[in-house]
A = this chain, B = another copy of it.
Amino acid sequence: MRTTYYEELAALRTQVGDMCGLAADAMEHATHALLGVDLSLAEQVIADHEHIQDMSKRAEGGALKLLALQQPVAGDLRTIIGAIHVGADIERMGALAVHVARIARLRHPECAVPDEVRDCFAEMGARSVELARTAHEVMVSGDPDKAARLNDADDAVDAEHRHLFTMLIDHVWQDGVCSAVDVALLGRFYERFADHAVEIGRRVVFETTGGLPNHKKMA
Q: Name A's B-contacting residues (CB within 8 A).
A: 49, 53, 57, 63-64, 67-68, 71, 73-74, 77-78, 81, 84-85, 88, 95, 98, 165, 168-169, 173, 177-178, 180-181, 184-185, 188, 212, 215, 218-219
Contacts and interface: CB of A to CB of B under 8 A. Distances in A.
A177 B178 contact: no
- The secondary-structure label for the interface of chain A is helix
A167 to B, nearest CB: 10
A166 to B, nearest CB: 12
Contact of A84 (B85, B168, B212, B219): B85
Contact of A95 (B184, B188, B219): B219
Count of identical protomers in the assembly: 2
Contacts of A63: 81
A73 B84 contact: no
Contacts of A73: 68
B181 A169 contact: yes
Contact of A185 (B49, B85, B185): B185
B168 A173 contact: no
Given A67-B67, A168-B177, A173-B177, 9 more contacts: A64-B77, A67-B81, A68-B74, A68-B77, A95-B219, A169-B177, A181-B184, A185-B185, A185-B188
Q: Taking each of A168, A173, A180, which has the highest tally of chain B beta carbons within 10 Å of its own beta carbon?
A: A180
A204 to B, nearest CB: 16
Q: Taking each of A68, A95, A165, A212, which has the highest tally of chain B beta carbons within 10 Å of its own beta carbon?
A: A68
Contacts of A77: 64, 67-68
Nearest to A68: B73
A215 B178 CA distance: 29
Contact of A57 (B64, B212, B219): B212
Contacts of A177: 168-169, 173, 177, 180
Q: Which 4 A-B pairs have CB atoms at the shortest separation, nearest pair first?
A: A71-B71, A181-B184, A177-B180, A173-B177
